Structure 1
Amino acid sequence: MKWRIGALILALLAVSPLAVMYFNTAKLDGTVKLPGLNAPVAVNRDNRGVPLILAKNQLDLAQTLGYLHAQDRFFQMDLLRRLSAGELAALVGDKALDHDRDIRRHRFRARAEAAISAMAPQDRALLVAYSNGVNKGLADLLTKPFEYWLLRQAPRQWRPEDSLLVIDSMYLDLQGNAAKREWSLAAISQRLDDQQKAFWFPFGGRFDAALDSTFPQPAPLPKTGWPDMQAPPASPAPEQAPGSNGWAVAGRFTNDGAAMLASDMHLSLRVPNIWYRMAARIGDNMEVGLTLPGTPALVVGSNGHIAWGFTNSYGDFSDLVVVSDAGNNQYQTSAGPKAFTDHPETIQSSSGHSETLVVKDTQWGPLMGTLPDGRPYAQLWTAQQPGGVNINLMKLVDCPDVSCALALAPTMGIPTQNMMVADTRGNVAWTLAGPIPERLGYSGLEPVDLSQAGVSWQDRLPASAYPRRINPPSGRIWSANQRMLGGAELSRIGDGGYVLGERAGRIRDLLKSQNLWDEKGFFAMQYDNKVPVYDFWAKLLANELSQMPPSPDFVKARRLVDEWDGTAASGSQAFVMIHDFRQAMLGLVFAPFYNLDKTLPGFDAASIDNQWEYPLRQLLSQQPPAMLPKGYESWQGLLSEQTARQVTRTAEAGWPTWGSVHQSHIRHPLSAALPNWLARYLDAPVSPQSGDSYAVHVTGTAFGASERLVVTPGREDRGILVMPGGQSGNPFSPYYLSGHQDWQDGNPEPLMPQEARWQLTLTP
């Protein structure tokens, strides 16, 4: 009887999702037949699961990488292609229908199919080889990945165009807010005069850290006072989440004479991580770094001659185009009326629901809605243009020096990025990689009517017009999502919402603080927790506290602020008060903007608040009576009240440390739908965080460095690479979270794979 009960338990276990996870880990050793290979390929994994791939040619490498990606990360890849294709509801149900309706208007799948057809044969062959490897890797799993059991769905085969859809998903992640930002600015332009707009929405200021050392002049206080907008009750401002850092120093600042590069791209964080580590050798050629599951490209890394990294550029690569109806299903163009193109898009849900959305397309892009003044508009976006997506990034692995990389950058079909490059000859360089539109006759700052004479958009600037810097006099290059240049070069790039330059300035100052750097020094910089932007707020808070009654809480608060060391350290009690005091002041002063969405659906203050530190400081420093928020008799009364409230909130919370309120919650996409006892096996451990959005060590609840790389090309054996999560997407794999704690704690891991623990051979 007992054996029958045991057999029943085993049988139930065998069909449960837990058993699926346990038995469905990637194949690590042995021999596997992979039809289509030209020669055998060796895959040697170390004790972190990081592979070293030994292949004879690029096609075999692409097919092998596809196999590994599918074995370890297929569900993640599937989500990425579905995200941009607008096909999520077919997998997860009706809750994704609104997303799919919105995204289908861009028709990314149709565009990807067209791009594959127009692609050069050698590029198409790489995507076909990668796709074949993906499908073989998926088929070689004992059963479908566990997520499909939970969703009661079956995985679909991978197609070559799906890799382009993965790149489209990166466009949505990095530039998908562009239309909302431009729409919100258009709404503001209707409500503010020029003087008010210049003050409330400055282009930059003294924190700017451009490579050419340009600074915009601060705008004066508007004579017209407060904008005439309803101001509902204030609440603390939402946290900002921009990130990504990159920097490089020339060879004269290293012991080897080769230049050195650091890269930490910041994104929303999930388990598994978006990147997959890899090293490969094809004959004498080597490449090492991070790949994006779903594509065969080495996104960031080194080839032994150059090392490269990216940060989001926040240039302006999208326009809202006014569409004038010409009747008879036509719209007006500079050449006369033209018929709309209607594209039926069928959206299906796993619930069985099906609907057809008719996308009305113009020569500029799809109709997206109406502007704040009621006029219809289309979105013109580099992501939707021919050549906006391609795999030219893969050619970086063949570049011998920075000049080659700079020449390649204008041809890349990726969301336009700041690209930093360092080479073995000691050179450093910066440029923009990806499409930059050429606007003629207009700036791109306002919605444009391209049916009018004298205005036009070209899909890409000539390569000779791309901004670039090679070996600047300082020998240092830095990027942290700030404005990189001014003047005519900036006008070509545009302003897509550059972040406050304080973080970039901190990186610049650290780089200039010494003349000899090694990899460990660069890695330590990536965890720098200094937050100089808060010095103003600490001084202001300390001054207000000095005027408060000597109660125990005020005395303790004053002592903590006076002793603050200027960092966002996890153990700091002072930083909690200083940080929250600033957020409360932002929310109070900018309440009319933050709450405008309540009367103007579609408005998004968070998309346009990136430079509000400047007008806020100006108001608090000059305290103009005409600009005092409603409900207060004086600026001093406002500051005193907010200071008292902050101390009360902090004391009632038990004087928390920053790490107790600022914690990482990095989750699997499906864990929120599971019981807590099961979800915790899918999620990364909750951890106290140091850092802040204004520190070099940018951190957030589920946002932060998706990788931290430091490398001197030609000295990859000394390189460092850490990332959240691990190589595998299966919680029962030993590599599900391997390396995560080192990323959290700042312990360097070697860039190169170490001694092989597993050896897998793929044969034709």
Structure 2
Amino acid sequence: MALIFRTLVWLTTASLVLATIGVLIVYYLASRSLPEYDNTVPVSGLTADVEILRDNSGVPHIFSTSDRDAFFALGYAHAQDRLWQMTLMRRTAQGRLSELFGTRTVETDKLLRRLDIYPRAVQSVAAQDARTLDALESYAAGVNARISEINRDSLGRGAPEFFVFNAPLAPWQPADSLALVKLMALQLSSHLREEVLRARTSLLLPDENRLADILPDIPGAGVAALPEYAQLVPGTSGETQFAQGGPDPLFWPVAPRGLAGASNAWAADETRSATGSTLMANDPHLQFTAPATWYLARLQLSSGGVIGATIPGIPAVMAGRSDAIAWGLTSSYLDDQDLFIEELNPDNREQYRTPDGFKNFVTRRSIIEIKDSEPVTLTLRWTDNGPVLPGTQFDLATITPPDHVTALSWTALSPRDTSMSAAIALMYATSLEDALAVSKAFVAPSQNLTVIDGDSIAMKLVGAMPRRDAGHQSQGRLPSLGWRSENRWQGVFPDDSNPVFLNPTGGIVGNTNNKTVDRPFPLHVSFDWGDSQRVMRWQGLMQGREVHTRDSFIEAQLDTVSVTARALLPLIGADLWFTGEAAPDGTPERLRQRALDLLANWNGEMNEHMPEPLLYSAWLRALQERLIRDDLGPLASEFTRVEPLFIERVYRDVDGASAWCNVIRSAIDETCTDIARLALDDALVWISENWGTSLESLRWGDAHQATHDHPVLGEVPILRYFTNIRQSTSGGDHTLMRGRGAGEGPNPFLNVHGAAYRGVYDFADPDSSVFILSTGQSGHFLSRHYDDLGTLWRRGEYIPMSLDVDLARAASVGATRLVRE
């Protein structure tokens, strides 16, 4: 017995020792890739020595004697902190993820190959102006200098992820940066999926009023009724297919519906500013990841200092300020994508129909190498309208007739995309007028560019606007016949057709992804917009005071009041509040009464510490599900988030919309009050099962956690506790401090999409401008800068956005000197 005991003790001790040694080895290898910020590094490619001074938040301040060297140092700093993120984004754009991740990413690679993103980026290099080419080449040289240093000094392969997914690291090229811009355009796109969904829904709902309920136009001047999709595309029928492709593949670059581009930006001129100078606030919204998409940086250029948010892999400050101007971005929702139904030649399936007869597809073979599997060879096909996409992607098979294929037209597929030149030129702009002039070079993604200088404010839609024929069959809202000449794009509109708002008499411009113009087709910009709710709260806050300050702009940026809740709750609960008899504790009726009492006294603030936001959100979600499930069947699963305009139309009975309340398959006629009561009970059952029956103790923030998950290590046991960043957050789908819910899964209210960057700029005192990230500067989970800014972000705090050198040096974490070899 004693021998067995001693043996067990020895085995346990040995196991613990071996485990400890293993952990120490892993830690040592991982920590080798932590960058040394206080260091002198000899590199080749510089014209003079450069200093990269990192302040106490890890923000690099780059000082050089030439612009070439400044971009070189930015590339070096990006590679120090975010090399894995840059590599992953490049592989995504190239369609080469499967070389690392095997069969899980084959469908993602297939999509990127078919779209031809990377070859188009290579072609676009020649379209850039000389200054941009210089910046791209210098930036690439800086990235490669860091890669050479890693290889030379055995610095842990540059990031811990490279130990798990081992593959040769190719040198960075100028085309890589352009490909990342196109990848961002794809991630911000939404109209492809909207066209497919509208087509599928129209096949189920031939009544145009019911289609207008579930896919409503933003209120304003009406849009002419669309023809039925079945009339547009011969061969489709009213019995739509429901073959579901399942969840999106790993690293799928097209955001789910409702999670494409979003953002806020607003500006005030000197007449609406307490300080007599201009103000601006901007918070671009993207899907949350760890690390965040954005990276803060400051460059000292020949035109002066520039500071703000960059994207690792791209040598430009995308949103920020210089000494002369400040600029911010919001998604414009420009309709820059169209799907075309292409008819195959029945005698030769390698041809498709055009206005002039049948024509051969442009084809090319592409081989996808797959880890631990045989390679896959794709035949890429293009029509005059764009690349052909398979029916297995985006549910295209459900709307494509037999003997037809679907092609995509999209402005980002231009081989002469000069968006990078525009982004670089913005950093050199010396006035608002100069900024608007250089913005003409933007192609994709289209954005609303908000700009201020010391005297003026403006907002302009930038990017190429497709020119459609006034006789287009669907006005770009549905897939259309590719061989009809009136459906095909006729180039793009000149830049002076893009809406611009310059120095308005009211003194304030802004955008929350709302409808900005009401122009007739084809100059309409879009029929589908990203917001109809936040803009109402923004208008109230902007007009609620005569003049604004930096602090009032911050207050608006962090506002968590839902005008949607304030408007919808009185509608859906009109016949439920203060009705019925008192019910005993423990009964469903009593639970419902408690929930109604809480909501009756709620002001609509989506505060993380309160129970009412969870009760409201669960009720609205259950209500929409009950309203649409019997009418749409499996297609109801596409509407995963509450559509406020739909709920309002139903409960105001706009054009007979209350018909949604009656359950088709039920023998009785349900009223909207019945459905509201049943939905509230559904919500309370769900809450009780997941969060308990003590309604007063519920916390919205427990359900509404911001999910900054690592895209690779975030699902790995144990490691996910080190790499994923979860934060209790306020806000919701329709608040200015937007926190978009996941819409599906065990917890549909997880905050997955919001302002990963916030900036507020004050030209009365530019160095009092502030900014913040939702995670930290570093992509290395062992670095203290991996999540340090996230704590401030969650609390609604900021860090100084200053070009003052002394302030940057105060309590800095190190200075890296790049010296010429």
When normalised by structure 1's length, the TM-score is 0.89
Q: Distance in 2 between matches of 1:140 and 1:14?
A: 24
Offset of 1:593 from its aligned partner?
6.4
Equivalent residue letter for 2:429: C
How many residues are matched?
732
Distance 1:120 1:283 in 2: 17
What is the alpha-carbon distance in structure 1 between the residues aligned to residue 259 and residue 363 of structure 2? 37
- 1:266-305 CA distances to partner (integer Å, 9 max, x unpaired)? 1111111111111122246111101110010110001121
- Could you say if the C-alpha distance between residues 737 and 647 of structure 1 is closer, same or farther in structure 2, counting changes exceeding 3 Å? closer
Indicate which of 99, 114, 124 corresponds to 1:105. 114
Please give the alpha-carbon distance, in whole angstroms, between the structure 2 residues aligned to 1:91 and 1:532. Answer: 46
Distance 1:452 1:537, change over 3 A: closer
Which structure 1 residue ranges, 5 or more long, are not aligned? 206-213, 220-226, 233-237
**What residue number does 1:694 align with?**
734
CA distance in 1, matches of 2:574, 2:661: 24
The residue number in structure 2 matching 1:588 is: 626
CA deviation digits over 1:5-32, x for unaligned, max 9? 999999856752x222222212312322
Render the CA deviation track for 1:182-228: whole Å, top value 9, x for unaligned: 122223333414344334432112xxxxxxxx554999xxxxxxx98
The one of 670, 682, 691 aligned to 1:634: 670
Aligned twin of 2:269: 250
Q: 2:526, 2:642 → 1: CA distance?
A: 11
Alignment of 1:185-264 (within 5 A): 185-191=198-204, 192-205=206-219, 214-216=220-222, 240-241=258-259, 243-264=262-283
Relative to the length of structure 2, the TM-score reads: 0.83
After TM superposition, the structure 1 stretch with the greater mean CA deviation from structure 2, 453-462 or 656-665, is 453-462
Distance in 2 between residues matched to 1:467 and 1:620, nearest whole Å:
31
Distance 1:379 1:609, change over 3 A: farther
Cα deviation, residue 250, structure 1: 1.0
Write out aligned runs for 1:595-610 (5 A). Answer: 595-597=633-635, 604-605=638-639
Distance in structure 1 (CA, Å) of the matches to 2:681 and 2:344:
57
Matching residue within 420, 424, 428 for 1:398: 428
Deviation, 1:241, is: 4.5
Structure-1 residue corresponding to 2:360: 339
Indicate the residue corresponding to 1:222 in structure 2: none
Higher RCO by CA contacts (8 Å cutoff, separation 6 or greater)? 1
Cα deviations by residue, 1:114-163 (Å, 9 ceiling, x for unpaired): 22244444432321211111111122231211101022334332222111
Q: 1:749 to 1:616 in 2, by over 3 A?
A: farther
Shift of 1:354: 0.9
Map of 1:240-319 to 2, 5 A cutoff? Answer: 240-241=258-259, 243-283=262-302, 285-319=304-338
Pair 1:75 & 2:113 matched: no
Instruction: Classify the secondary structure of the residue corresponding to 1:64.
Output: helix
The answer to whether the aligner puts 1:438 opposite 2:491 as a matched pair is no
Equivalent residue, structure 1, for 2:591: 553
The aligned amino acid for 1:310 is L
Could you list the per-position Cα deviations for residues 78-102 of structure 1 after superposition, in whole angstroms to 9, with x for gaps in the alignment?
Answer: 1112222221111222111121122
The residue that corresponds to 1:452 in the other structure is: 484
2:8 aligned partner: none
Structure 1 position 566 matched with structure 2 position 608: no
Counterpart Cα distance in 2 of 1:113 and 1:334: 31
Structure 2 counterpart of 1:565, one-letter code: N
Tell me the equivalent position of 2:808: 755
- Specify whether residues 627 and 255 from structure 1 end up closer, same or farther in structure 2 by C-alpha distance, changes over 3 A only: closer
Equivalence for 2:793: 743
SS at the partner of 2:793?
helix
1:617 — aligned with what? 651
Corresponding position of 1:680: 721
Q: What is the letter of the counterpart of residue 705 of structure 2?
A: Q
Moved more, 549-558 or 686-695: 549-558
Q: 1:718 to 1:106 in 2, by over 3 A?
A: same
Give the 3 Å change call, closer, same or farther, for CA 660–257 of structure 1 in structure 2: same
Question: Structure 1 pair 648/597, CA: closer, same or farther in 2 (3 Å)?
Answer: closer
Distance (whole Å) between structure 2 residues aligned to residue 606 and residue 115 of structure 1 = 38
Instruction: Label 1:240 to 1:10 Cα distance change in 2 as closer, same or farther (>3 A).
Output: closer
Determine the C-alpha separation between the residues in 1 that align with 2:650 and 2:67: 54
Aligned: 1:160 with 2:174: yes
Pairing 1:10-29 to 2, within 5 Å after superposition:
15-16=25-26, 18-29=27-38
How far the C-alpha of 1:643 sits from its partner, in A, is 3.3
Report what 2:777 is aligned to.
727
Corresponding position of 1:705: 755
Secondary structure (helix, strand or coil) at the match of 1:342 reads strand
**1-structure distance, mates of 2:241, 2:627:** 10
Letter in 1 for 2:431: D
Q: CA 1:472–1:47 in 2, change beyond 3 Å: closer, same or farther? A: same
Is residue 511 of structure 1 aligned with residue 542 of structure 2? yes
- Answer whether contact 1:388 1:435 (CA < 8 A) is retained: no
In structure 1, the partner of 2:445 is 415
Query: What amino acid is the match of 1:695?
Result: T
Q: 1:643 aligns with which of 680, 696, 701?
A: 680
User: Partner residue of 1:180?
Assistant: 193
Mind listing any 5+ residue stretches in structure 2 that lack a counterpart?
1-13, 226-236, 243-255, 584-589, 741-750
Contact 1:267–1:704 under 8 Å retained in 2: yes
Rounded to whole Å, the distance in 2 between the matches of 1:316 and 1:763 is: 48
Q: Aligned equivalents of 1:610 and 1:555: distance in 2?
A: 24
Q: Superposition pairs for residues 360-375 of structure 1, below 5 Å?
A: 360-369=381-390, 372-374=399-401, 375=404
For 1:452, the aligned partner's letter is R
State the AA in 1 paired with 2:448.
N
Query: Partners in 2 of 1:252 and 1:302 — Cα distance?
Result: 21
Of 721-730 and 572-581, the range deviating more from structure 2? 572-581
Distance 1:282 1:624, change over 3 A: closer
Rate the CA distance shift 1:401–1:537 in 2: closer, same or farther, 3 A. same
Aligned to 2:102: 93
Contact 1:21 1:731 in 2 (8 A): no
Which range moved further: 295-304 or 624-633? 624-633
Q: 1:203 to 1:388 in 2, by over 3 A?
A: farther
Mapped pair 1:124 → 2:154:
no
* DSSP-derived class of the 1:56 partner: coil
Structure 1 position 430, deviation (Å): 1.0
Counterpart in the other structure of 1:532: 563
Q: State whether residues 277 and 291 of structure 1, in contact with CA within 8 Å, keep that contact through their aligned partners in structure 2.
A: yes
Which deviates more from structure 2 when the two are superposed, residues 296-305 or residues 384-393? 384-393
**SS at structure 1 position matched to 2:576:** helix
Compute the RMSD of aligned alpha carbons.
3.1
Q: Cα gap change, 1:568/1:5 in structure 2, threshold over 3 Å: closer, same or farther?
A: closer
**Equivalent residue letter for 1:429:** A
**CA 1:113/1:593 → structure 2, altered by over 3 Å: closer, same or farther?**
farther
- Note the C-alpha offset of 1:522: 1.0
SS at structure 1 position matched to 2:523: helix
Question: Contact (CA 8 Å) 2:127, 2:417: kept in 1 or not?
Answer: no
Pair 620,470 (structure 1): closer, same or farther in 2 beyond 3 Å: closer
Partners of 1:610 and 1:246 in 2: CA distance: 22
Q: Decide whether aligned partners of structure 1 residues 417 and 10 sit closer, same or farther in structure 2, where only a CA change above 3 A counts.
A: same
- Relative distance call for 1:155 and 1:637 in structure 2 (3 A) is same
Distance 1:702 1:197 in 2: 28
